[in-house]
Structure formats: C-alpha cells, structure tokens
Amino acid sequence: MILAFGSASGGAGALMLPSGLALAAYAAAAVLPPRAATALRTSLIVGWLAHALAIGIDTSGIGAEPAGARFGFAPALSVTLWLVIGVYLLESRSLPLPGVRRALAVLGATAVLLALLFPGELRPHAFSRWAPLHWVMGIASYGLFGAAVLHAVMLSRADRQMRSMRQPTPGATTSPAPLGLPLLRLERLTFSFVSAGFAVLTAALVLGWWFAGPWHWDHKTVFSVLGWAVFAALLAGRRAFGWRGPAATRWLYAGAGLLLLAYVGSRFVFEVVLHRPPAA
C-alpha cells in the first residue's frame, strides 16, 4: 500500500502556496530553452523543493482535522515523481542527461496537480504498528523503479542514436551529435536501481503479508506479485544469460507497468471511475 498522511478535506489552504510554487517552477523548467542552463536547473530545484514542502504539509496533517492516513493514487504518483526528479537532479551534476528535463518537469507538475485534485481516502488510524514501514517501503520501491525506468529510457535513446551514427542516412551532410552518455555506466545504474527496488519491494510484500494486515488476493496484491515475479525473472535472466539492451528494458517496462497498476491503477479505478473507497 502507498499513502499520504493528512485529511481528505482539511489543509487545502496550507497546501496551495507550495503546490502553486511547484507548479510555476516546473512549468518554467519545461519551457525555458536549453541555453538558459542555470535558470533551467534553478527552476527545477525550486519546483522540487516546493513539491517536497507540499508533500511534507500533506503528510504532517497541518491544517487538517482529524489527522490520519490518506490513501490515494495521486499522492502515490506525487511522491514517486518527487523521488525520480531528486535522482535526476543528483545525477545531472556529474552525468549529462539531455532530453529528460522537460519531460520530468511536465510529469512533476502533473503529479502536483493530481495530488490537489484527487487527495484520496482518509483513514485516521493505521491497522498495524508495522503499517507505516510497509507504506514507506512501497513508496520507496515505486521511486527506485521509476528511477530505473528513467535510466532505461535514456539508455534506449542513447543506443538508438549510436546506431544512427554508425549507419548515416544516405544523402545526409552532417552526422547526429553524440549524446555524451556512457552507455555502460547508464546500464549499471539502471540495474542498480532495479536491484534496489526489487529488494525493497520484496521487503514491502513480506511486511504486508506478515504484519500489516490480512492477506487478500485482490487486484492490488495480484499485480504486485506479478510485478515482483517479472523483476525477479529480469534479474535472474541478466545474471544467468546476460540479458541487456531492448530485451532487458522490455522486462523492466512490463514489471514497472504491473507495479503501477497494482496500487495506482486500482486506486484510480475506485476513486475516479467508481467514485467509492476501496474495500481495503
């Protein structure tokens, strides 16, 4: 399970200022030209910090009465995108990551807006003392796999550009500029995030089965276990058969898609399509 702490109805005023600032800063980062590198990075950092403040206000329950645990697909997406953008900001200082900033800024703004529009379901009391750890691990696994997907997208893009450089288009007068991305380093980073995400997801599932509450084979559980199995197969295939390239990234995308459906997808259906709270 993924959560945000707060109130389903209260605290909206306290959230508006940091959320509005995050939206404005992410929008600036999305539209600024690449030559304005300093302003671009500053806008993204300001958006990320304001996004963090909005999440902090939400999780602390400031202005909400009563305080409690709030479940929802939008808060889960918001925290996941915040973690992925944080990874990008750290790595972009030492590793050139072209072509990613605009997409992340747009996704970050979308996540902030969705968290405001769809705050989720309020549950004042956790059903187990282990539930917060289970939730934190679930959020962390989303962020780690999100970072893995980000690196896989960059890896695929760099690989395609390298292939196009080796096979120039007939009649072309210039060759495409190299991305400057070390492919082997990107690949190692991608699977480091996959391995870390798999370990955290495994711990979250074990806690959910053993401590957090009764085990139900609902849609969330089925998709979570299926996603875990796909990631286990990917890591086993890479270790035993040396899987890499498009074959490996397809497994990564499939596992991430299943994991996204597990919580975000099921909650979206209940909250937005069916307009009723989940059974659990």
Shared domain for 111 and 137, answered yes or no, is no
The long-range contacts involving 240-249, CB below 8 angstroms and separated by at least 24 positions, are 244/187, 245/159, 246/156, 246/159, 248/191, 249/152, 249/155, 249/156, 249/190
Statement to judge: residues 111 and 195 lie in one domain: no
Residues 50, 156, single domain; the answer is: no
Quote the pLDDT of residue 85: 93
Tell me, yes or no, whether 66 and 153 share the same domain.
no
Q: Mark whether 30 and 159 lie in a shared domain.
A: no
More confident site: 48 or 13: 48
Confirm if 58 and 115 have CB atoms less than 8 A apart: yes
Indicate the number of domains in the chain. Answer: 2
Model confidence band, residue 52 (pLDDT cutoffs 50, 70, 90):
very high
In a domain, 104, yes or no: yes
Amino acid identity at 239: R
Is pLDDT larger for residue 39 or for residue 71? 39
138 and 186 co-located in one domain: yes
Residue 110: predicted pLDDT: 95
74 in Cβ contact with 17 (< 8 Å): no
Average pLDDT, the chain: 79
259 falls within a domain: yes
What pLDDT shows up at residue 274? Answer: 61
pLDDT in tens, 113-144: 988 888 766 665 555 556 666 777 888 899 99
Whether the ω angle into residue 66 lies within 30 degrees of 0, i.e. cis, is yes
pLDDT band at 46 (very low <50, low <70, confident <90, very high): very high
The closest alpha carbon to 227, from 197, 206, 191, belongs to 197
Per-residue pLDDT at 39 exceeds 80: yes
- My answer on whether 90 and 211 are in the same domain is no
Whether residue 1 has pLDDT greater than 50: no
The structure's pTM equals 0.75
CA distance 38 to 29: 10
Residues 6+ apart with CB under 8 A from 231: 145, 194, 197, 198, 201, 251, 252, 255
Once rounded to an integer, what is the mean pLDDT over residues 91-106?
Answer: 78
Residues 135 and 241 both lie in one domain: yes
Domain range for residue 217? 129-163+180-280
Number of helices (H), then strands (E), belonging to the chain: the values are 9, 3
Residue 174 forms part of a structural domain:
no
Both 235 and 108 in one domain: the answer is no
Distance in angstroms (rounded) separating the CA atoms of residues 209 and 164 = 48
For residue 91, count other CB atoms closer than 10 A to its CB.
18
Task: Return the CATH number at 134.
Answer: 1.20.120
Q: Tens digit of pLDDT for each residue in 160-206? A: 777 776 665 555 544 443 444 577 888 888 999 999 999 999 998 98
150 plus 276 within the same structural domain: yes
For residues 3 and 244, the model is more confident at: 244
Are 186 and 260 members of one domain? Answer: yes
Ramachandran sector of residue 174 (left: φ over 0; alpha: ψ -120 to 50; beta: rest): beta
What's the confidence (pLDDT) of residue 214?
A: 67
Rounded CA-CA distance 83/94 in Å is 18
Secondary structure class of 1 (helix, strand, coil): coil
What's 165's DSSP letter?
H
| 17 and 96 in a common domain | yes
Place of tokens 């990874």: 87
